[in-house]
């Protein structure tokens, strides 16, 4: 794809990563570290006069081709040598794809100030408590300004699927950037908090040099439906449900939980929250006044068994088919709640790209268990939290930015967003399509790409961070899909003659191990030939075994398993 504006050569035609030049004083450097070409890992660096401001630091959840991985972080390794230059981390809202990476960055330097709204900071502080980090926090509200070194920050209210979301205008000597964060333009929001288009217009009149815009729904025509349109549907489904109701949603979707609480209360049902993150986040939201809990509705999970089936609603995590989340465990009969005939399961969320197969597997398993599964495909039980193309057009026409850098989306979303910007009059040369690691320099309203950093995935795997590589994941896939063969051969150190073996053991094969009897003479003959040619090094002889056995297995069994040959010189 193009790495700057749309007239630049495609990625396949350009050179690889290139280090940017030294940054001149008075020039603003912008580096998207994550969130471009993906839904997640949102993180952007802003630098001027030797000082750095970070906006968001999120995670990406693994897909099926990344087995064993818990989370994927932005690659902020290039910042490790400049941690003291980071003045703060602005957090636009409390979703995991914007705050989930904060603990890992603060482990490198724990006194980097966090700047965000009340709910956002409360959610991230609870997360940091689990990592035994006590952060330095600065709570801000819409309409407020903060001066952080060479950065003047102005915060703007935006509507999203979580309360207290903020856009941020960053003014510097090099120019002004407006970052929307995640947003939409719900005209009848449940919390009464509109996206402040008047403030967007005021900033636009003053001059926005670069507009960094949420791209997630840029390819969706029209306008995102109202959040409140979901309430009546949830109410009807819960009213008709003959037995238990299980609602799966994101653990931070306060508005959706509020709608479930209200519907349950209206029909005489109690609600039990399931999943540690769901319980934690809703407790925070209720304590801060963002969630209104009707009297007597919430019940502790351990007491839910005493409630009749037609009087209980379970609110759980797992709407994306995550293997260890509550809903997936229910679908696999690996949870105390056993889903059965007559139960109703509501998936009150949209599909994050890459999770489709996992979600449909969960739906199939729940259906097989006898549940009535209600999801976005067959009922209006979720609306997106992101602006569709009609809303984005309004924003471009109001802000009238000099340059546009679409963020937060897969490549098709970024392309669609750039096209919308051009349709509203932004020149093609000023519409930038970037990748993670693209380096942009802004000065006097002129923006250009000055380099391309080589940024990759940083995998969290259990207690390890960044140690698992793509090669390790490839080995895991091979083990899971193709099987494993080990070969042990003992040779005479002096002559290279085979003394014992080869002993061949296979895992993940339907065939009996006797099938390998045909290849053993070939291995012995190949080792004898190598010995005749003077090869005595055990590693070199192991490669001979690998080559002979691998070729035979591929031809005979049509498999490409992991091979672990061991040649021992005695």
Using the Cα atoms of residue 440, residue 101, residue 316 and residue 264 in order, give the sign of their dihedral. negative
CB within 8 Å of 172: residues ≥ 6 apart: 28, 46, 48, 150, 151, 152
110 counts as catalytic? no
The closest alpha carbon to 260, from 288, 235, 296, 225, belongs to 235
Residue written as tokens 């940024």?
Answer: 455
Neighbours of 529 (CB within 10 A): 12
The closest alpha carbon to 550, from 477, 497, 485, 479, belongs to 485
Residue 95 known to bind ligand? yes
- Give the C-alpha separation, 78 to 452, whole Å: 12
- Give the C-alpha separation, 174 to 330, whole Å: 54
For 108-130, the DSSP string reads T-TT--EEE-HHHHHHHHHHHHH
> CA separation (Å) from 211 to 166, 405, 438?
15, 6, 16
Going by the DSSP 8-state scheme, the letter that residue 224 receives in this structure is: P
* H or E element, residue 439: strand 438-443
Residue 385 known to bind ligand? yes
CB 142 within 8 A of CB 192: no
Residue 97 known to bind ligand? yes
Q: Which of 75, 386, 413, 441 is catalytic?
A: 386
Residue 444 known to bind ligand? no
Vertex 103, ends 97 and 107: CA angle to 5°? Answer: 145
> CA separation (Å) from 450 to 18, 22, 32, 147, 546?
8, 10, 13, 27, 46
Tokens standing for residue 289: 């006044």
Residue 110 known to bind ligand? no
Residue 252 known to bind ligand? yes
Strands 175-179 and 166-172, how do they pair? Answer: antiparallel
Residue 255 known to bind ligand? no
Residue 93 known to bind ligand? yes
Residue 5 known to bind ligand? no
Residue 70 known to bind ligand? yes
- Give the C-alpha separation, 216 to 406, whole Å: 10
Neighbours of 474 (CB within 10 A): 12
Q: Which of 209, 214, 343, 441 is catalytic?
A: 214
Residue 383 known to bind ligand? yes
Residue 542 known to bind ligand? no
- Give the C-alpha separation, 441 to 31, whole Å: 9
The SS3 assignment for 380 reads: coil
Residue 512 known to bind ligand? no
Residue 45 known to bind ligand? no
Residue 408 known to bind ligand? yes
Instruction: Please state the length of the chain.
Output: 570
214 counts as catalytic? yes
- Give the C-alpha separation, 185 to 200, whole Å: 12
- Give the C-alpha separation, 326 to 276, whole Å: 10
For 258-280, the DSSP string reads HHHHHHHHHTT-EEEE-SHHHHH
Binding site for substrate, by residue number, is: 251-253, 382-386
Binding site, by residue number, is: 68, 70, 93, 95, 97-98, 160, 182, 251-253, 382-386, 408, 461
Binding site for Zn(2+), by residue number, is: 93, 95, 97-98, 160, 182, 408
Binding site for Ca(2+), by residue number, is: 68, 70, 461
Residues noted as catalytic: 214, 386
């Amino acid at each position: 794809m193009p790495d700057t504006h749309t007239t630049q050569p495609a990625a396949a035609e350009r050179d690889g990563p290139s280090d940017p030049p030294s940054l001149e004083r008075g020039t603003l450097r912008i580096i998207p570290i994550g969130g471009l070409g993906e839904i997640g890992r949102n993180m952007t660096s802003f630098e001027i006069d030797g000082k750095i401001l970070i906006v968001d630091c999120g995670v990406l959840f693994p897909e099926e081709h990344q087995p064993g991985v818990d989370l994927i972080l932005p690659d902020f390794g290039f910042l490790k040598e400049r941690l003291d230059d980071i003045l703060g981390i602005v957090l636009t809202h409390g979703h995991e794809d914007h705050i989930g990476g904060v603990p890992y960055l603060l482990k490198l330097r724990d006194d980097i100030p966090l700047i965000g709204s009340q709910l956002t900071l409360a959610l991230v502080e609870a997360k940091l408590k689990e990592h035994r980090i006590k952060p330095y926090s600065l709570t801000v509200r819409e309409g407020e300004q903060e001066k952080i070194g060479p950065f003047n920050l102005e915060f703007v209210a935006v509507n999203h699927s979580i309360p207290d979301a903020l856009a941020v205008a960053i003014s510097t000597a090099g120019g002004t950037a407006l970052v929307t964060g995640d947003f939409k333009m719900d005209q009848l929001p449940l919390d009464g908090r509109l996206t402040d288009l008047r403030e967007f217009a005021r900033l636009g009149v003053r001059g926005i040099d670069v507009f960094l815009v949420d791209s997630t729904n840029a390819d969706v025509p029209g306008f995102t439906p109202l959040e409140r349109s979901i309430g009546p549907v949830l109410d009807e489904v819960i009213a008709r449900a003959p037995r238990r109701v299980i609602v799966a949603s994101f653990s931070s979707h306060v508005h959706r939980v509020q709608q479930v609480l209200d519907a349950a209360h209206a029909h005489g049902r109690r609600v039990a929250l399931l999943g540690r993150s769901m319980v934690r986040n809703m407790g925070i939201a209720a304590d801060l006044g963002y969630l209104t809990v009707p009297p007597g509705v919430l019940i502790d999970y351990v007491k839910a068994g005493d409630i009749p089936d037609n009087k209980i609603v379970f609110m759980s995590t797992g709407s994306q088919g995550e293997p260890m989340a509550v809903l997936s465990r229910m679908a696999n009969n690996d949870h105390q709640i056993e889903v059965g005939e007559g139960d109703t399961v509501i998936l009150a969320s949209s599909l994050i790209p890459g999770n489709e197969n996992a979600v449909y597997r969960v739906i199939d398993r729940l259906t097989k268990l006898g549940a009535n599964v209600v999801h976005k495909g067959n009922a209006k039980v979720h609306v997106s939290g992101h602006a569709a193309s009609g809303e984005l057009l309004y924003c471009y026409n109001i802000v009238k930015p000099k340059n546009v850098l679409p963020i937060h989306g897969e490549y098709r979303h970024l392309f669609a967003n750039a096209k919308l910007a051009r349709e509203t009059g932004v020149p093609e040369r000023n519409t930038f399509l970037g990748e993670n690691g693209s380096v942009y320099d802004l000065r006097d309203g002129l923006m250009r790409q000055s380099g391309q950093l080589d940024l990759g995935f940083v995998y969290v795997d259990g207690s390890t961070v960044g140690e698992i590589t793509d090669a390790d994941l490839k080995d895991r896939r091979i083990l899971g899909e193709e099987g494993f063969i080990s070969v042990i051969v003992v040779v005479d150190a002096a002559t290279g003659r085979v003394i014992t073996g080869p002993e061949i053991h296979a895992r993940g094969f339907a065939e009996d191990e006797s099938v390998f009897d045909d290849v053993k003479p070939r291995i012995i003959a190949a080792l004898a030939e190598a010995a005749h040619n003077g090869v005595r090094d055990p590693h070199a002889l192991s490669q001979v075994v690998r080559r002979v056995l691998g070729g035979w297995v591929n031809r005979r069994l049509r498999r490409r398993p992991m091979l672990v040959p061991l040649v021992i010189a005695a």
